[in-house]
Structure formats: C-alpha cells, structure tokens
Structure 1
Amino acid sequence: MGEGQSAVSRDAFAEASYGARALGFGRRPAILVVDFQRAFTDSAFPMGRSAHVQRAVDETAALLAFARPLGIPVATCAVGWCSEKDMGRWKVDAVYDGLFYGQPGMELDPRIAGAGDFHFTKGAPSMFFGTPLVTFLTREAVDTVLVTGCTTSGCVRATVNDAFSYGYRVIVPEACCGDQDQEAHEANLRDVGRRYADVMTVADTRAALAALETRQPETR
C-alpha cells in the first residue's frame, strides 16, 4: 500500500462531490454518431478489428432503429482529410492510410446509415470542431445530445467535452460507444460521467426517449 492510502476502499472523487448531480433529458434530444466508418468498423483496416467497437455499432444501430420513428434527429460523421496538409499531427500510423476523401475507410458503416440523417465529414477529434453540427442542432431545437460512436477515449470523449461546453445536456449510452479495449472505454466513461455527462444503459436510454414528447421532423 502506498503512502497516504487508506486500508478502506474509498472514492476520492465521490467524496469531493464529483458525479453528485444527474443531468437528465431536456425536451428535444438528438443522437450523435461519431466515426462509425469502415476505417474503425471493418476488419480489413488496422483500426477496425476491435470486438468492443463491433458491439457498439450493433447497439447503436438498434438504438437508431428505435429512435428514428420517434422523430429524433440523427447526425453522423466520418473523420478524414483531403491530404496530409490539412490533418493534425497524429501519433497513430493507421490514420495516415485510408482516411482521405474518396477512400473506402471514410465510408459510413452500412449498419448505421439512414436516409434522413445529417451526415458530414470532420477533421478533428470532436464532432463539433469546425463542422456544421451546431447549426443543425439549432435548427432542430435540440437541447440534449446522446453521444455514441468510437473511440471512447478519443473522438467520443472530445465530442462529449465540446457538447458540454456548448451547453447541451449530454447522455452517453454506455454500450453504444467502443474502443480498442475495455479498460480505456471504462476509464474514460468514468471520467466524463463524473463531470459532463450521464452515462446510462441502453435500456434506460430507450425508456427515456419513449417517454419524451418529441417534435416530428418537418416536411420540406
């Protein structure tokens, strides 16, 4: 046992009041799907071989099938660039292979794609950074975002942080997010759950969505 550690198991964050408040749902939720593209969901790609991510894709596809008939807006994204000149200084070799415009790795996983969804490309970890997402959410009168996708420790976490910073209520359906391993997934959800988001089961998420009076999408 290290110096200063108690023999009794304790949660220092809980004692400091982290995670003490539940955020709950507002009146108008939307589902954000972060980077469920072939580069991360197809085993033909180096970053697409995580069983944990595969579980998250399937769980998210089922949640979307439940939510779309309720009129809940869905926004999806893929990360990619025109060339190495407009991408960040990533430390991941695989990012430099398959994530340029027109390459198969940027294609949305077919389990996720929906004809009425709002889809766009991003160039940074957060789904908000330099994208039209806030304009879409404003037009749809959204006050609550459900963040799904991959990876939990990377682009999902960055999106949660920015959603919080923009003033949205943030919900994370745990099984709808995936990472390269379970440990990274759990550690990062534990962190955001202490500060910025309600981390929920998919079953509880569905029940909350079903209880809301959502506005049906306008016909244009």
Structure 2
Amino acid sequence: MGLFNGSLPFGDRPAVILIDLMRAYFDPAADLYVGSPDCLASAARLLSAARAARVPVIHTRVGHSRGGIDGGLFYRKVPPLRDLSGPLGELMPQVAPLPDEVVIVKQYASAFFGTPLASTLTALRTDTLVIAGVSTSGCVRASAVDTIQHGFVPIVVRQAVGDRSRGPHEVALSDIQAKYGEVWDEQAVLARLGAP
C-alpha cells in the first residue's frame, strides 16, 4: 500500500474557479506567456458547462495598487506583475465573466490569500472547488493547497491548467494529486457537471 493513496470525493455543491486567465499569459509577446492555448479552450468548455448546470463561477485576476506596495516582496520578486495594470491584465474574452459572476482581484499566488474567497465559498455552501487556470506550478498549486486547508475539496482539471514548461506543470499536478487534492480529466469533470 502506497503512502499517498488517499482520495477525496467530488461533492454535491461544487463551485468553479478560473484563476488568472488574463491576456498576459496568452499573448506571445508578454513576459508571463505560458504558451498553453489548449488550457484556455478547456477552461472555456468548463465555464460553459458550469453555467449550464448553474454551478457558481468565480474568476480571479491579479491587480496591484500604483507602486505595488500591496504586492509586497512578491511584486518585487516578479517584475512582470507590473504589466498587469493595463491591457495585459484583462481577462481573456473566451472566459469573460458575466455580470453576476464574482471576480476576485488578488495580489499573491493563492486565490485565498488576502481575498474574500473562503467566505464567498462558505456563503455558497460549497464543498468542492473545481480549479482551472494558470500557472499550474504557481497560482493553481498555491490555490489548491489553500483550498484543502480551508476545508473544500480541490479538483484540478488537468487540461484546463497550463504552465510555461512541461516539467513544473507535471510535477505540480503530481504533487497536488499525491497530497492536496484530486486531478481529474476534463471529460470526467464535464460529466460530473451534467454536460452531454
């Protein structure tokens, strides 16, 4: 019997979170470019299925005040974060939020850190958080770890997350599956949400 062989159930009250699907990650000229157009397409399909099933959807994007003091050392460590106050900080049109969908502006990697995400999920009586977005080894992993630490089941959609290189992407997914949540294929998640 392996050390990391536990599993967590997909609950009855899921919510979907789309993490940082901003132009900066999909514009080849941008420093943060991940080169993963397939993950954006997968996230768009997931979003469509969630809306059809009336599953709550939450979007995140990164934003800092002028000078980045609210981003602290992270803002200093990652200079391209300074580019997110303009057009590169816009959410991609394929996954643009509807007026009634929550958009959380975050300053750090985790979607939970310093944001109202946990209280929002609690108010929705969420038990499972389905995660898509970028980057797998950064904000997705940090958010998955905080998801379980806040008492929600993290389900990361394999095809709906992306990273700048394959190595960190695969290691992060393996680590999440081993210790912090579940990594599901897109089709299995779509079926669970009731998509045809």
What is the TM-score when the length of structure 1 is the normalising length?
A: 0.82
> 1:138-177: CA deviations, max 9, x gaps?
2211110011110001011100010010010110110110
User: Any residues of structure 2 matched to 1:123-134 within 5 Å, and which?
Assistant: 123-134=107-118
CA distance in 2, matches of 1:29, 1:46: 33
Counterpart in 1 of 2:45?
A: 62
Match of 2:101 among 101, 117, 138: 117
Moved over 4 A (4+): none
Looking at structure 2, the residues matched to 67 and 199 of structure 1 have their Cα atoms a distance apart, in angstroms, of 18
Partner of 2:159: 175
Aligned to 2:143: 159
Residue equivalent to 2:190 = 206
Deviation at 1:22, TM superposition (A): 1.8
Structure 1 gaps of 5+ residues are 1-13, 212-220
Q: How far apart are the structure 2 equivalents of 1:42 and 1:202? A: 24
Where 1:30 maps in the other structure, the secondary structure is strand
Which SS does the other structure have where 1:175 is aligned?
strand
TM-score (structure 2 length as normaliser): 0.92
Query: Counterpart in 2 of 1:88?
Result: 72
Aligned pair count reads 191
User: Shift in Å at residue 85 of structure 1?
Assistant: 2.0
Q: Return the alpha-carbon distance in structure 1 between the equivalents of residues 19 and 136 of structure 2.
A: 10
Deviation at 1:195, TM superposition (A): 0.7
Contact 2:153–2:181 (Cα < 8 Å) also in 1: yes
Q: Percent identity, please.
A: 34
Quote the residue 1:35 is aligned against. 20
The 2-side partners of 1:113 and 1:85 are apart by 28
* Matched position secondary structure for 2:105: strand
User: Match for residue 105 of structure 1?
Assistant: 88
Cα RMSD between the aligned structures?
Answer: 1.5
Cα distance between partner residues in 2 of 1:31 and 1:42 = 24
Q: Which residue of 2 aligns with 1:45?
A: 30
Instruction: Select the structure of larger CA radius of gyration.
Output: 1
* Runs of at least 5 residues in structure 2 that lack an aligned partner in the other structure: none
